[in-house]
């Protein structure tokens, strides 16, 4: 019988899982131009002029056409860069899209019927805490089980015996490892990651969003282990957050599977164009990385000298514990001075701030603001 005339609450039409879901909370994107923005790990420098020109040149009547559905030219260029085949690469609308696709490709949603350890593992997504805060959200959206493994105090990668002693699941269907890690900034050795990849009977995604600021990449592990996926993005180091281009490198069988469930036109033509042009001017970016790494070590040194605790960083941000005031206070007082950083209100993170490394000038302003704030807080 049709329900005529009755008022219906739309709420009941929504899947129970979605009704209760908390979405990802992105960092603020303030509009004011006088703000020093050190909160979302963007590169402070403009994309290369070659990239800007390529986008402008591509913005014409061709916008009416669908983009290249498989981003073929970009995959060929990336294959050349990484010494692999185009079949090893899938392009995503940001790496976030691919991280989400992986849940649907490799993990069964939770069912109450699962009894054996093996069935439970097939429904499990695993990651370290703290790491990228999107992972638990993706697991929740998919309705998967979560296995969180707490990192030690120094944020270093646990060895196999600690994983065994803890509740690491070596059978988990999908494991995300941010390397170098966020928000700690700590780098992991490829040889240590290899030991985990070797013992893990499930997919491991090594999320290398910050690899250009690190000492080593684990890219070769995709050649040694068929269960390993490397995730990369043009967002952070290549100043292209707005264009949404990320990619996975992995065994062609994994790439084909991901391709099957991907939207046909998941990345737009201007994004593909911008990423391709980026690859023609890599030396421009490599110069920027050197500046950022230099500003990172300068900032770390100065903060350490005033008694702050800094985790040695291999990324374009630092994770700093203040001295003489709480992290929350530091965050609020910087904000009043129009400097925005990121404070995560969780047990593991709330006594530190994550500070993106900006330009040399921005970091000098950040340091003087911090010194003034500390002076005021410790007076009286």
CB 182 within 8 Å of CB 231? no
Residue that the structure tokens 């050795």 belong to: 189
- Tell which positions 180-219 bind ligand PLP, by CB under 6 A: 182, 207, 209
Separation in Å, CA 37 to CA 329, 353, 358, 359: 18, 14, 8, 10
- CA-based nearest residue to 201, from 122, 103, 254: 122
User: Helix 134-142 vs helix 95-106: angle between axes, to the nearest 10 degrees?
Assistant: 40
Give the 3-state secondary structure of 272-311.
HHHHHHHHCCHHHHHHHHHHHHHHHHHHHHHHHHCCCEEC
Q: Are strands 145-150 and 124-129 parallel, antiparallel or unpaired?
A: parallel
The distance of closest approach from Cβ of residue 255 to ligand PLP in the complex, given in angstroms and rounded to an integer, is 17
From the list 88-96, 112-120, 269-277, 304-312, the region that binds ligand PLP by CB under 6 A is: 88-96
From the list 232-240, 258-266, 280-288, 351-359, the region that binds ligand PLP by CB under 6 A is: 232-240
Among 39, 43, 70, 95, binds ligand PLP (CB under 6 A): 95
The distance of closest approach from Cβ of residue 138 to ligand PLP in the complex, given in angstroms and rounded to an integer, is 11
Q: Looking at beta carbons only, is 142 or 236 nearer to ligand PLP?
A: 236
From the list 9-17, 57-65, 82-90, 235-243, the region that binds ligand PLP by CB under 6 A is: 235-243
Q: Looking at beta carbons only, is 96 or 269 nearer to ligand PLP?
A: 96
Site string for ligand PLP, 40-79 (x = CB under 6 A): ----------------------------------------
Strand-pairing partners, residue 90, are 248
Listed in sequence order, the residues at least 6 apart from 141 whose beta carbon sits closer than 8 Å to its beta carbon are 21, 100, 103
From the list 23-31, 121-129, 158-166, 233-241, the region that binds ligand PLP by CB under 6 A is: 233-241
Separation in Å, CA 99 to CA 17, 72, 103, 364: 20, 20, 7, 36
Q: Looking at beta carbons only, is 268 or 370 nearer to ligand PLP?
A: 268
With 0-12 / 13-18 / 19 or more C-beta atoms within 10 angstroms meaning exposed / middle / buried, residue 200 is buried
- Tell which positions 132-151 bind ligand PLP, by CB under 6 A: 132
Residue that the structure tokens 């990619």 belong to: 247
Per CB under 6 A, does 239 bind ligand PLP?
no
Among 44, 67, 86, 94, binds ligand PLP (CB under 6 A): 94
Per CB under 6 A, does 96 bind ligand PLP?
yes
Per CB under 6 A, does 317 bind ligand PLP?
no
Q: Which residue is nearest to ligand PLP (CB)?
A: 94
- Residues shown for the chain: 380
List residues binding ligand PLP (CB under 6 A): 94-96, 132, 178, 182, 207, 209, 233, 235-236, 241, 246
């Amino acid at each position: 019988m049709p329900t005529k005339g009755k008022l219906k609450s739309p709420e009941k039409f929504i899947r129970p899982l979605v009704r209760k879901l908390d979405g990802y909370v992105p960092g603020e994107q303030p509009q004011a131009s006088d703000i020093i923005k050190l909160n979302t790990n963007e590169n402070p420098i403009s994309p290369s002029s070659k990239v800007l020109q390529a986008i402008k040149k591509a913005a014409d009547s061709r916008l009416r056409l669908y983009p290249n559905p498989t981003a073929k030219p970009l995959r060929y260029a990336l294959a050349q860069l990484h010494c692999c085949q185009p079949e090893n690469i899938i392009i995503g609308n940001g790496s976030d899209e691919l991280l989400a696709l992986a849940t649907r490709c490799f993990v069964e949603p939770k069912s109450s019927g699962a009894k054996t350890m093996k069935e439970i593992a097939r429904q499990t997504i695993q990651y370290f805490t703290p790491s990228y805060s999107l992972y638990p959200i993706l697991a929740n959206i998919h309705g998967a089980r979560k296995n969180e493994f707490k990192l030690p105090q120094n944020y270093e990668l646990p060895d196999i015996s600690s994983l065994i002693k803890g509740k690491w699941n070596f059978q988990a269907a999908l494991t995300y490892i941010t390397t170098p890690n966020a928000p700690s900034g700590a780098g992991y050795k490829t040889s240590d990651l290899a030991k985990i990849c070797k013992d893990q009977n499930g997919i491991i995604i090594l999320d290398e969003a910050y690899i250009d600021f690190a000492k080593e990449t684990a890219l070769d592990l995709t050649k040694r282990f068929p269960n390993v996926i490397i995730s990369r993005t043009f967002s952070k180091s290549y100043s292209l957050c707005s264009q949404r281009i990320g990619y996975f490198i992995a065994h062609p069988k994994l790439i084909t599977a991901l391709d099957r469930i991907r939207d046909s036109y998941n990345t737009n033509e201007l994004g593909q164009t911008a990423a391709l042009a980026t690859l023609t001017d890599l030396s421009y970016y490599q110069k920027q990385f050197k500046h950022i790494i230099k500003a990172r070590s300068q900032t770390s040194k100065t903060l350490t000298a005033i008694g702050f605790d800094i985790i040695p960083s291999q990324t374009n941000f630092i994770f700093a514990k203040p001295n003489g005031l709480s992290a929350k206070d530091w965050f609020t007082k910087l904000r009043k001075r129009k400097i925005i950083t990121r404070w995560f209100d969780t047990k593991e993170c709330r006594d530190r701030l994550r500070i993106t490394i900006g330009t040399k000038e921005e970091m000098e302003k950040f340091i003087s603001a911090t010194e003034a704030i500390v002076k005021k807080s410790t007076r009286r």
